[in-house]
Structure 1
Amino acid sequence: MNSKEKKQKGAIFIYLLIFVAIFAMIMPAVVSNFVAKLLLLKLTIMREQAFQIAEAGIDYYQWHLIKFPDDYQDGTGQSGPYAHDYVDYDTQQTIGQFSLTITPPPYGGGAATIQSTGWTNDNPNIKRIVTATYGFPSLASYALLAHDWIYAWSTEAYSGPVHSDTGIRFEATTTSSVTSSVQTTYTTDCNQEYPERSCPTTSTKNAVWATGSNGSESSPYWSNPTTVADFAGVNTAFSDIQSNSQINLPLSNKLGYSLVFNGNGTVTVYKVLRTMNTGSRFPVIKALSGGTDTGLGYIIGGTDYASGICSNSSCNGCGSSGRCLQYTTAVPSEGLRIYVKENLWIDGTVKGRVIVAAADSSALNTNPNANGTASNLMPNIYISNNIRYSNGENGASGQAADTLGLMAQGNIIVTKNAPNTLYVDGALLAQHGFVAAPICYSGGSSHGGSVAPPTSAVYFYGSVILYGSWWFNFTNYCGSSFTDGYYNPFFKWDTNLLYYPPPFFPASSVSAGIQLEKWTSN
């Protein structure tokens, strides 16, 4: 071997040493990275398996709630958590477990929260948590829901679904759906179920229609026919409220009761002694009491209670006072349920969860007949001033939110002396009657004078539900050409009412089934 070949072999050996050295330096990092990726992949697989097991726990309890909608103890009658084996479908082997923690809805209904924690038997320390909230939707699923015909004026505005079982002339503005459960409707106000004001056999239109400029903008939101609104659960709701009420007011032997919410989580109860602004009337589409329909219905008695408060709870010696003080009570943390069998006046600032029902099972009629004669009238609820939530529209949500339900067997009426700019927060329900600001008081005067000024407005935040007619804006009634009521009604649906309504507020159709309201995972 000559010196040249020795030099070449030496150079190769040096290169080999350099390569081995570089390989020795790089390879551990490569191997370590590869091992780390394998471990990460294995961890990802284990986490995914744990997640699927946790998700199976949610699916299981959704099925359980469909079969047993009032069971929040997994059929055990005991407090949780509730552990279940998870059996692999392909191998039929138990490969893991899930544990359920169930938070039932607030007393009187709402949404339930299910937390499912899943893990595999091979890696029990690797856990995944899935949380889901389920509930049956309440009837307060709309900004405005009516069984009867709706005429939405051009000065009205809606933020939330609107529905009528009979038909809608919708000249208003909206950002949400406008639906009717029928294909066609009549072009004029008429009575489809009672003979006093019969409907024409011709002159029909599509169930949702308009003639004004707002129609082209709102028409993309129109839809019909859709399902019929479900009022079947309302009777049960009244019964449940009465059975579970903390305050069941006895007959006052006066004109009814006044409830004032004080904004600090309390409510003050008064008896109403004297009223004013009598002889009020309202347009009638559906009069349950019979008689010759003149196109106007009547309200017996005054819509407003007189001024002055008497502190004598027996109401003796109260003179000309409009009300006498009974007591003040707190709204419990689980909510307050109030039941009364006669007329009720409401105002104030609500803090907490409250339901108020005015109903009398012996009453037969929503309105007096056309002569103004009273006969077995259903109780009304009168809104005499602003009704607000203490935490406002942008406060807490879910179970922590303020919520108010006003349920009248008869009508819900805004009184003549209510503010010219009125705010009403809550879910309003008139089971057999209307929701309205009446017109044509004694002497021909209207709300706010002879004309409702263009600046007058009523702001509804919540849901308005009624079987009869909706009237807050009138023209050409009482023999003169004036507009009465509130010139600008605004409706904003409180979406929190869908799954977190007031206690014992009626649910929507059971056929809608339990629905997923919220879903999260870690």
Structure 2
Amino acid sequence: MKKGQLTLEIMILGAISVILVSAFGLWAYSALKISLRAHLRAQAFSIAEAGIEYYRWHLAHNRTDYTDGTGQPGPYVHDYYDKDGDLIGQFSLEITPPLPGSTVVKIRSTGSVTADASIQKVIEVQFGIPSLGKYAIVANDSIRFGTGTYAFGQVHSNYGVRFDGVAYNTVFSAVPNYDDPDHGGGNEFGVHTHANPIDPLPPAAVPPRPDVFVAGRQFPVPAVDFTGLTSSFADIKAGAQSSGLYFGSSTVSGYHIVLQTNDTLDLYRVTTLVPKPPGCTDTQGQDGWGTWSIQSETLVGNYPFPSNGLIFVEDDLWVSGQIQTARLTIAAGRFPENSQTDKSITVNNDVLYTYYDGQDVLGLMAQKNFNIGLISEDDLRIDGALVAKNGRIGRYYYRPPTSQGQGGQNCQLWNVRSLITTYGMLASNKRYGFAYTDGTGYLIRNLYYDPNILYGPPPSFPLTSDQYVQISWEELK
């Protein structure tokens, strides 16, 4: 081999070695840089999460402060230090307060690191305080759901539940067993059915019965507190008097509110009620029994919906109509409370939403009963959160003919109705019911739950907690 040729080969090998070493160095540098950026991104993510946790803590101590204690618009920037006290980054908070009546607050936290200002992580979380609207039906008394009842949300009673229809969500009771007032013999399970085959009695094992309890049944569970409704009514009245709509006594039978889709309402003074037909009598001794149906009324005026969404009527009240992108609570009551003067709400004609995505929210809160009167629509729909604070949600018993010769001399024309549909939730202090075991009342009862009212309830609607819970979490960047 010639000397020059050997030198050339050495030079080539050297060049290759230099290239390989340089490439390895570049790779190592790039890998280190990538690793460092990954570390910084993880650090920025942790800082962004720290911002969320900080404001969760802040809301736990001041649940209505959406300005980080400053009273000024955001964003709100906080330095972030490591365990050694060294400044390593910042989080910046953008806070969107709840809509009127809602409890949902949106927090967007942007985490950044001092080592590289170009690296940021953004997290957005929604927190809300759960309301009484957690349930499709909640009662402070034993309740019975007959054949023909279809419930599409959670059902809870502080006493016992007999369910003979179909429940598509869980049914809860606060008691392990109870004496069913509609059935003799021993105590029944806290949640039981008489749909064939009838449940055995305790202490037998609880059968699953998916044909009735599609999502199961649970008992005993903690009771739901109904006492908070008193303060809610007082708050609604105060809010209506200060910046909402407040109407005192009508001096006659009450008021009728007709809701309009242009964000106004027509208010009527109810002057007379439909007299009970001959032979249509209260055979069950029900408190407040009557036709609860309007015969004549006079227009008081047209009013825009109040900005705070609160309407309080210190008299009996009838409601009908439709809302469109409105959030309202309409309450009827009289203070000081007295069982002889408590006020009720009656719905005999449709009360409707336009949108079912949370844009429309309506609360109808009665101090005494929430009624369906004698002359009510055969196919009735009520959208909203319905509350009977001291009484019950339901329809009075309008008896059928008792003999062939009676003809119309009773409640015959109106005692049987075809279909009632509710969309929202029902909260009844006493036993609920739209139908009776003799086939009177509404034959089919569809009770749908509106999930939007759990964290976005009507204005001043009662809450079941004073603490925020996380509803959603999303990494935006």
TM-score range, shorter chain: 0.7 to 0.9
The corresponding residue for 1:265 is: 263
The corresponding residue for 2:327 is: 353
The corresponding residue for 2:233 is: 238
The corresponding residue for 2:73 is: 79
Correspondence 1:299 to 2:288: yes
The corresponding residue for 1:473 is: 435
- 2 CA distance for matches of 1:486 and 1:27? 87
- 2 CA distance for matches of 1:150 and 1:173? 14
Map Cα deviations across residues 441-492 of structure 1 (whole Å, 9 max, x no partner): 694315x54544xxx211111110010011112123xxxxxx1111111111
Correspondence 1:107 to 2:100: yes
The corresponding residue for 2:247 is: 249
Map Cα deviations across residues 2-45 of structure 1 (whole Å, 9 max, x no partner): xxx459x959966984x777778888777656544443332222
Map Cα deviations across residues 108-162 of structure 1 (whole Å, 9 max, x no partner): 4522222222211222332222222112111111000001111111211111100
Correspondence 1:422 to 2:380: yes
- 2 CA distance for matches of 1:31 and 1:277? 97
Give the drift of 1:226.
Answer: 0.4
The corresponding residue for 2:35 is: 41
Distance 1:268 1:27, change over 3 A: farther
- SS of corresponding position for 2:436: strand
Correspondence 1:518 to 2:450: no
Give the drift of 1:281.
Answer: 7.3
- SS of corresponding position for 1:427: strand
- 2 CA distance for matches of 1:281 and 1:405? 32
Contact 1:281–1:296, Cα closer than 8 Å, also in 2: no
Map Cα deviations across residues 229-271 of structure 1 (whole Å, 9 max, x no partner): 1112211111111111111012111211111112222211111
Contact 2:415–2:441, Cα closer than 8 Å, also in 1: no
Unaligned runs of 5+ in 2: 198-207, 400-407
Map Cα deviations across residues 358-415 of structure 1 (whole Å, 9 max, x no partner): 01123422xxxxxxxxxx2311100021111111x2x3x4xxx110000000000112
The corresponding residue for 2:411 is: 445
Contact 1:266–1:328, Cα closer than 8 Å, also in 2: yes
The corresponding residue for 2:404 is: none
Distance 1:343 1:53, change over 3 A: same
Which residue among 411, 414, 421 is the counterpart of 1:459? 421
- 2 CA distance for matches of 1:209 and 1:230? 23
Contact 1:277–1:303, Cα closer than 8 Å, also in 2: no
Give the drift of 1:297.
Answer: 0.3
The corresponding residue for 2:352 is: 388
> Which structure 2 residues correspond to residues 40-439 of structure 1 after superposition, within 5 A?
40-89=34-83, 91-189=84-182, 203-213=186-196, 216-217=209-210, 218-219=212-213, 221-245=216-240, 246-278=244-276, 295-299=284-288, 301-306=290-295, 322-332=296-306, 334-351=307-324, 352-365=326-339, 376-391=340-355, 393=356, 395=357, 397=358, 401-439=359-397
Contact 2:137–2:155, Cα closer than 8 Å, also in 1: yes
The amino acid across from 1:216 in the alignment is: R
Give the drift of 1:277.
Answer: 5.0
Distance 1:266 1:425, change over 3 A: same
> Which structure 2 residues correspond to residues 21-40 of structure 1 after superposition, within 5 A?
35-40=29-34
Give the drift of 1:74.
Answer: 2.0
- 2 CA distance for matches of 1:517 and 1:176? 20
- 1 CA distance for matches of 2:354 and 2:275? 30
The corresponding residue for 2:200 is: none
- 1 CA distance for matches of 2:95 and 2:9? 71
- SS of corresponding position for 2:209: helix
The TM-score normalised by the length of structure 1 is 0.79
Contact 1:276–1:301, Cα closer than 8 Å, also in 2: no
- SS of corresponding position for 2:233: helix
- SS of corresponding position for 1:41: helix
Map Cα deviations across residues 168-225 of structure 1 (whole Å, 9 max, x no partner): 01112122110001111113249xxxxxxxxx8x620110111214971144510011
Give the drift of 1:51.
Answer: 1.4
Unaligned runs of 5+ in 1: 191-199, 283-293, 307-321, 366-375, 477-482
Distance 1:458 1:83, change over 3 A: same
Identity of aligned residues (%): 30
Distance 1:275 1:20, change over 3 A: farther
- 1 CA distance for matches of 2:426 and 2:388? 8
The corresponding residue for 2:203 is: none
- SS of corresponding position for 2:59: helix
Instruction: Pick which of 356-365 and 486-495 moved more.
Output: 356-365
- 1 CA distance for matches of 2:291 and 2:376? 13
Distance 1:15 1:266, change over 3 A: farther
- SS of corresponding position for 1:124: strand
The corresponding residue for 1:313 is: none
The amino acid across from 2:260 in the alignment is: N
Contact 1:281–1:299, Cα closer than 8 Å, also in 2: no
Give the drift of 1:228.
Answer: 0.5
The amino acid across from 1:248 in the alignment is: Y
Instruction: Pick which of 225-234 and 295-304 moved more.
Output: 295-304
- 1 CA distance for matches of 2:142 and 2:409? 30
**CA RMSD, aligned part only?**
2.7
The amino acid across from 2:294 in the alignment is: Y
The corresponding residue for 1:286 is: none
The corresponding residue for 2:204 is: none
- SS of corresponding position for 1:469: coil
- SS of corresponding position for 2:118: coil
- 2 CA distance for matches of 1:36 and 1:487? 74
Number of residue pairs matched by the alignment: 450
Contact 1:278–1:300, Cα closer than 8 Å, also in 2: no
- 2 CA distance for matches of 1:203 and 1:498? 37
Contact 1:382–1:414, Cα closer than 8 Å, also in 2: yes
Distance 1:68 1:459, change over 3 A: same
Instruction: Pick which of 150-159 and 216-225 moved more.
Output: 216-225
The amino acid across from 1:488 in the alignment is: I
Contact 1:230–1:509, Cα closer than 8 Å, also in 2: no
